[in-house]
Structure 1
Amino acid sequence: MLVALTVTTSVAALLLAAWCGHAAYRDQPTKDWHFIGMAVVTLLVLVQLVVGIVLVAGGEEPAEGRTLFFSYLVGALACVPAAGLLSLSERTRWGSVTVAAGAVVLAVLQVRLHDIWGGGHG
């Protein structure tokens, strides 16, 4: 798996978490700009999914197996959009907290994806 893409996705997710966390601190719900940020982070995860599919189709193997690898990739892809949808139903500061939490979960999933792929050793 491409380490640069994983790191970029993790950093983008953490920036989104900080941004939405700041909005929650200021007692603000998610705004249109936050949704644009969520779209950018989701696009990065989508690119990661495509890269993962191409690498496995090209003969490379995740260290911990394809099923676990693709399960994490799909879960990572759903993480931020699910939090964004939940934030639409909660138009208070807690909607921003939900997105911030979803973005932190995505960053953690990126670390786990790196481990599943082989942690740089496989």
Structure 2
Amino acid sequence: MILWLTIVQIAVAAAAGLFCVALGLAGRRPSDFSVGSLALVELLLVVQVVAAIVAPLAGNPPTGDLLEYWVYLVSAVLLPIGAVLWALMERSRWSTVILGVAALAVAIMVWRMHVIWTIQVA
């Protein structure tokens, strides 16, 4: 994994998570801003998928379990999609909180993926 991409992903996901949780607790329903913040998180995850495919070919193989890494990555990619679908089907303030929780979960999962890629020894 690329360190700067990991840091950007964690920062954006954490910011989106805190933003959505704050909006939800303030009573706001899902809007273009809250859903758009999750779309940005998803875009960065797609970039991570491409980087995860290219990195081993470029001489940067993972040191940890590759299966565990890909399970985290696929789960992280599906999490914002599920949260946005939930928010669009049930348009309540709690749906906005769910968007935030999903973004915060993605931030944690990206850090764990970085640990699997760089620190663990298989």
TM-score by length of structure 1 reads 0.90
Kindly indicate whether residue 48 of structure 2 is the aligned counterpart of residue 35 of structure 1.
no
Q: What letter matches 1:87 in structure 2? A: A
Kindly indicate whether residue 51 of structure 2 is the aligned counterpart of residue 51 of structure 1.
yes
Matches within 5 A, 1:1-122: 1-119=1-119
d(CA) in 1 for partners of 2:79, 2:31: 18
- Asked whether the equivalents of residues 114 and 120 of structure 1 are also in contact (C-alpha less than 8 Å), the reply is no
Q: How many residues align?
A: 121
d(CA) in 2 for partners of 1:112, 1:26: 31
Q: What letter matches 1:99 in structure 2? A: L
Q: What letter matches 1:91 in structure 2? A: R
Name which of structure 1's ranges 9-18 and 53-62 shifts more when overlaid on structure 2. 53-62
Q: What secondary structure does 1:24 align onto? A: helix
- Asked whether the equivalents of residues 64 and 119 of structure 2 are also in contact (C-alpha less than 8 Å), the reply is no
d(CA) in 2 for partners of 1:56, 1:85: 33
d(CA) in 2 for partners of 1:22, 1:74: 27
Name which of structure 1's ranges 92-101 and 79-88 shifts more when overlaid on structure 2. 79-88
> What's the offset of the Cα at 1:76?
1.3
d(CA) in 2 for partners of 1:78, 1:71: 11
> What's the offset of the Cα at 1:120?
9.2
TM-score by length of structure 2 reads 0.90
Q: Which runs of no fewer than 5 residues in structure 1 stay unpaired? A: none
Q: Which runs of no fewer than 5 residues in structure 2 stay unpaired? A: none
RMSD: 1.7
Q: Percent identity?
A: 29
